Amino acid sequence: MRTRCLVAFLIGLSFVAGAARADDVARVRDAVKHSTLDQPGTRPFHLKAVLAPTYERDRTSGRTGEVEIWWASPTRFRREVRSPEFHQIEIVDGKDRWQKNEGDFYPEWLRVMSTELVRPVPPLDEVLRLVKVADVKRTAGSTYFSWNEMSTDGTVEKAIGATVAVTDQTGLLLYGGGVGWGAIFHDYQNFHGRMVARTVGVGSPEVTAKVVTLEDLGDVPAGFFDAHAAGGDAQLLDTVIFDELTIRKHLLRMQPVVWPTVRDGRLEGTITATVLLDREGKVRDVGPIVSDNFALNDTARNAMEAMRFTPYLVNGVPVQVRCRITMGFKTTRPPGVENFEKPQTFFERGRTLGFLAAAKASPYVLRAEFETGTANDLEKGEYEDTYASETQWRREARMGNSRYIRSRNGDKRYELSEGPSAALLKLVLRVMEPIPALDTFIESDWKIKRDSVNGIRTVRVLTGYESADGQLDPKVRAYWFDDTGQLVQTHFQDIETQRSEFEEYFCVRIARRIDVLKNGKLGMRIRVTDVSPAGLLSTKTFKLRGHDWTRAFTDEVR
């Protein structure tokens, strides 16, 4: 297997994280305002969009329809939304509103879509406040501003992530989402100075709106914006967003949730989801479940769907309510099922047992050689890990005229990548230290079971999809630990590594041989050739001037 084939193993994620700066807030504000039709100064328009499920698997969801808007100003417009189960015409003229509804429940996906088409980030002031303290990550040409939105039942609390993403090259919105709003935006076109997304995706199952008409408003019939026309509904149908503690005051008595036993994951934790209540207080929609143990998600969903509330009134009129529901769980293993330790425990123990840097060994230099290719076309390279302390180290892989280096000197981190084989060399560093960092995964995503590797009794810790016959999805990450806690095999990025010939150095058992396989075929073999005390090290060893680097969103620890 040639080098160019091995490079295909890699999945390139290049995130840069840090605190949002003031100019980031300006970026988000400009991106939103540049794409918002529903604001002062927009040319009056007529918009029509056709809605359908984004994916073929959701064709039977019933999420089809149309949104049509005739807009003269932010306080004067007419909107019509239509789906198989609901049809609404609404007129806004200043402080006056008029509605005609067919159907007693306004689906949330349809309501959100009708807003997102003209106002991509409805709670803009609140979002800008949160962007000031958001986590910032850059990947694939976009910048993501992320924060957590907490909810509590009064006893336990749980976070759901919220995000706004801006495409770096265009400065336009790519995605935004929080409780009660959110969409992904594509196919921008200019409309009198506004850059309007002509393809908008909303919800789960996702619905895509295709804007088929966006034109100047033109002439409209007399009375078209008359909010006092005959035939309107006596009561308006509105959806409001409230915090969980407020809504729980309206929760009717219910039976305690009976949690089933679970084979994997946490036995105690928290679950949350966003729900929509109709005007009678019935739960009509439950959003994606965020859980400390996904095996309990169906039970949680059923419990939320069974909840009943007294109607919530605004100015004496019942409204639909969008809110969060949070609940704690506590359960047990089925009889005869082993109760494993947490994934974090396996990872930390495996790291300490098998990797010198994690064990905080005395300063050392570890050297290895690797081979890749075929007997007739073999390429060789070298790996070197120079370690002085947790905050002063250098890792380097070289092959031909290519090299890849990561290093750290105090608070400064560096990365150097050069030559045609740099991507492959980056993989070498990952293979040498494959156990993921604790700040890069959600513990509840992992499943644990007993397994066997080459006749060795192991515990497998895995996240991702596994078929009934044991076939692993390419996106699976899995790690096998023997009974001592030693890492003996991994699977990530559709690559398998096998670790063997363990030998003790400085009280750490290092795998002297690592085989890297793709589809069961050997693609690379790494052999540790030497580990020795580092002696006196100059700080120049760890500095790579001109190659400063902020830790990428990678599950590598170093």
- pLDDT per position as a tens digit, 265-294: 889 999 999 999 999 999 999 999 999 888
pLDDT at 552: 62
Percent of the chain topping pLDDT 70: 96
pLDDT in tens, 527-541: 999 999 998 899 999
Tell me: pLDDT of 195 over 70: yes
d(CA 239, CA 242): 10
Q: Hey, what long-range contacts does 169-176 have (CB within 8 A, 24 or more apart)?
A: 169/141, 170/195, 171/27, 171/30, 171/31, 171/34, 172/31, 172/34, 172/35, 172/197, 173/31, 173/32, 173/35, 173/120, 173/121, 173/197, 174/142, 175/144, 176/32, 176/120, 176/121, 176/127
Task: Please provide residue 123's backbone torsions phi and psi, each rounded to the nearest 5 degrees.
Answer: -90, 60
Tell me: pLDDT of 14 over 90: no
**Listed range (189-193, 336-340, 475-479) with the worst mean pLDDT:** 336-340
pLDDT in tens, 102-161: 999 999 999 999 999 999 999 999 999 999 999 898 877 899 999 999 999 999 999 999
Q: How confident is the model at residue 12 (pLDDT cuts 50, 70, 90)?
A: very low
Please give the distance of CA 290 from its chain centroid, rounded to a whole number: 12
Q: How confident is the model at residue 175 (pLDDT cuts 50, 70, 90)?
A: very high
Structure tokens at 4: 């160019």
d(CA 187, CA 165): 16
Tell me: pLDDT of 8 over 80: no
Same fold for the pair 3-216 and 343-542: yes
**Listed range (8-22, 69-83, 92-106, 501-515) with the worst mean pLDDT:** 8-22
Provide mean pLDDT across the span 428-446: 87
Provide mean pLDDT across the span 28-41: 97
Tell me: pLDDT of 9 over 70: no
Tell which wins on pLDDT, 68 or 57: 68
Provide mean pLDDT across the span 390-414: 96
d(CA 101, CA 450): 57
Task: Tell me 189's DSSP state.
Answer: E
Task: Please provide residue 159's backbone torsions phi and psi, each rounded to the nearest 5 degrees.
Answer: -105, 145
Tell which wins on pLDDT, 224 or 342: 224
Say which CATH architecture domain 3-216 belongs to.
Clam (2.50)
Handedness of CA 428, 432, 433, 436 (dihedral sign): positive
Task: Tell me 309's DSSP state.
Answer: B
pLDDT at 465: 85
pLDDT at 246: 96
pLDDT at 21: 62
pLDDT at 18: 42
Tell me: pLDDT of 225 over 60: yes
Tell which wins on pLDDT, 484 or 467: 484
The residues facing 199 across adjacent strands are 186, 210
Best CATH choice for the domain 239-330 from the list 2.60.40.10, 3.40.50.720, 3.30.1370.60, 3.30.1150.10: 3.30.1150.10
Mean pLDDT of the chain: 92
Ordered by start, the domain boundaries in the chain are 3-216, 239-330, 343-542
Structure tokens at 127: 């979002």
The closest of 268, 275, 291, 247 to 159, measured between CA atoms, is: 291
Q: Are 343 and 437 in contact (CB under 8 A)?
A: no
pLDDT at 19: 43
pLDDT at 282: 98
Provide mean pLDDT across the span 458-468: 90
CA atoms within 13 A on the CB side of 520: 2
Residues 6+ apart with CB under 8 A from 81: 65, 66, 67, 68, 87, 88, 110, 111, 114
Tell me: pLDDT of 418 over 90: yes
Provide mean pLDDT across the span 85-112: 97
Tell which wins on pLDDT, 3 or 322: 322
343-542 adopts what CATH topology? outer membrane lipoprotein receptor (LolB), chain A (2.50.20)
pLDDT at 556: 85
d(CA 366, CA 395): 9
Residues 6+ apart with CB under 8 A from 344: 438, 443
